[in-house]
Chains A and B, each alone.
Chain A
Amino acid sequence: MRIVIIGITLIAVLAIAVFILLTAGGGEGEVRLVGSGSTFIYPQLQAWIQAFTQANSNILIEYTPTGSGAGQAQMLVDKTVDFAGSDPPLTRDQYEKYKGQVVQIPVILGAVAVVYNIPGVNELRLNGEVLALIYLGEIEYWDDPRITELNPGVNLPHERIVAIHRSDSSGTTHVFTLFLSKASNGAWPQDLVGKSIEWRVDATGRGVGAKGNQGVAQAVQATEFSLGYVEYSYALGAGLKMAYIENAAGEFLQPTPESIQAAARAALPAMPDSPAGDWSGVLDAVVYAEGEGVYPITSFSFLIFWTEYPQDKAEAVKKFVNFILNEGDNYIVEGYVVVPDEVKEINRKAVELIRTG
């Protein structure tokens, strides 16, 4: 019995000792930056962090993909992290509140690919209106005249369309539904634009929700005659067939690095001239942007930093931002698209805006 008591006491003492050691913090001169937010940006950011910390071993950067909304809240409200990754920029209200205190840097471009699984069909053209009617449950079959009209010469089967959508709240859904509302001549109602919406196609029994880009990609792969939307990188990774989507100029395009960058250039007039400016209008400008060669379902992903940090952190943040802007292009993960040079010029001003406070 004694041995048991001694054993338990020993274990308790050891546990406390380990706990103290773990929470006591790292070594001398080491700077630790903690970030959280967007899941979309995570693989790319991870590649940058890895390359950066290899060259700067005294800086430790940790990023947790919790979702854009959670990342913003953890940085701005709870102040538990040093920076946030976010697909949507701060809204106008948020911007007014944190004006001068934060910089938002659009570091990477993403696009939403419309993917499908119709055996035997390898080229499919769709537009915003048809997509809206499918996700509203009004177009039921693949050989609906409104679809065949866009696809002359393609033999579409008389099969029901299974419309797969995100079941979790997601920036991807926001970008996709924003595109639907802008490109469908009013077919897609304004109140169905958002990260988490009511899917009317569900009520017809032809709608299926799946969690995450991965989940949607898997569901499309597993379901014949289905249609879904995923981030471009996931569509590439899963080897899914991507539809050609009609842009504002009437061209049908697939997402490619060129067509995605063209969308970013088309949105330049809506951008502020500095990362400290108001970026809230930029998503609206880049989705279904006017212009030739533009992929219409494109979006930015931002890193959000404070303008003031304690001295050691300020230096580390500046170094990291510099690294992304100047050397980041060498470490691009497949499926991610770098921002065009015009946007990089704006981003470079961020380094001067971050200071010791």
Chain B
Amino acid sequence: MAQKRPAEARSDKLFYYALIPFASTAFLIILLTLFVLTAKGLPALEFYGLKVLTSTRWLPNEFDPEKAVYGLLPAIAGTLVTAIIAVVIALPLSLSLTVLVEELAPSRVRDILSSLVDVMAGMPTIVYGVWGIGFLAPILAPIYSGLQSTLGSLPLFSCEPTGGFSILTAGLLLAIMIIPFIFAVVKEAYRAIPATYREAALSLGMTRYEYTRLLMGMIKPAIIAGVLLGFGRAASETVAVALVVGNAFNLPLCIIGPGITVSSLIANQFGEANLYPLMQNVLYLGGLVLLVLGLASNFLGILMLTRVRVRV
């Protein structure tokens, strides 16, 4: 482009140079975050060893770090389990929503639905949290009691539910929160499928179901990308989860009982953590685990997205 229009080449270059400081700031901030989390997290790892990642107890001690026990395992496991529940629930819902919006709904309904979902994505997470604590948790409590009395022999539903605050409630709330993200990714890819494929499929006399399956198969990488981005989003959500997960320091073996996640642990404890020797470092280490988890799932997701762009 610069060669074709030499008159604009200089100002074009200047423009790009002008953008460099802004663009690199964002990148530097991520690097800096990674650096700070590592630098602050390492002392905890040095002092407590791997136990800090594998212990299941949280016994703070204000005076003697030797007597304190900090284990991040229940929180890390809680983060993974809530995010997995969220994705498992949100995926079929987002896919059906895509088909509904793109194929079945009349164009006016389709626009309304699309913008409604956009509003869902932009809602402050505390709104979801307050809705979760005031509405979702109370209506789920009797359902959990039912689950426990019928499926109580399965370890997942073996515990006595405590008023709806649980790993499963957090997972459900997260599912609702990540639907717009998965939907946005899948919808874009779905729209990008060329009309010739669609016409070919229909002219072969495929049923609606066969047709949908074929198209979904074509955008599989986008679906996986949506899942990974949604997973990263769910794993990092803080406020809403802290309100409904129950914040009990238990491994998430029984999903209808209370548990804890890394982000809710940090949100809960960070305020006064400086009073406890090394507790802050342990929380930074938890933050590092979250960041690595988030970076990995986002990186994989974006990798998948570039694959779908190449394919379609």
Contacts and interface: CB of A to CB of B under 8 A. Distances in A.
Nearest to A140: B160
Nearest to A195: B272
A274 interface: no
A67 B248 contact: no
Interface in B252-278: 254, 257-258, 260, 264, 267-269, 271-276
B248 A168 contact: no
A37 to B, nearest CB: 11
A304 to B, nearest CB: 15
Interface on chain A toward B: helix, strand, loop, or mixed SS?
mixed
B163 A1 contact: no
A301 to B, nearest CB: 15
A246 B74 CA distance: 37
Interface string B135-165: 0011001000000000000000001101111
A203 interface: yes
Interface stretch (B53-61, B188-196, B290-298): B53-61
Contacts of A325: none
B160 A160 contact: yes
Chain A interface: which size bin? Answer: 35 or more
A195 B275 contact: yes
B267 A222 contact: no
Nearest to B239: A211
B275 A169 contact: yes
Contact of B268 (A9, A209, A218): A209
A5 interface: yes
A211 B134 contact: no
Contacts of A73: 274-275
Interface residues on B, range: 35 or more
Given A207-B248, A208-B163, A209-B246, A5 B15 contact: yes
Contact of A211 (B242, B258, B274, B276): B242
A176 to B, nearest CB: 15
Q: Which 9 A-B pairs have the closest CB atoms?
A: A209-B247, A223-B163, A167-B247, A169-B272, A202-B248, A69-B275, A69-B272, A67-B271, A168-B268
Given A1-B8, A191-B67, 20 more contacts: A66-B271, A162-B162, A167-B242, A168-B269, A169-B60, A169-B269, A169-B272, A198-B58, A198-B249, A202-B250, A205-B159, A207-B258, A209-B246, A209-B248, A209-B268, A210-B247, A219-B165, A222-B138, A223-B138, A223-B141
Interface of B: 8, 11-12, 14-15, 18, 57-62, 67, 133-134, 137-138, 141, 159-160, 162-165, 242-243, 246-250, 254, 257-258, 260, 264, 267-269, 271-276
Interface of A: 1-2, 4-5, 8-9, 66-70, 73, 160, 162, 167-170, 191, 194-199, 202-203, 205-211, 215, 218-219, 222-226
9 contacts: A67-B272, A162-B163, A168-B267, A195-B275, A205-B258, A207-B162, A209-B248, A211-B242, A225-B163
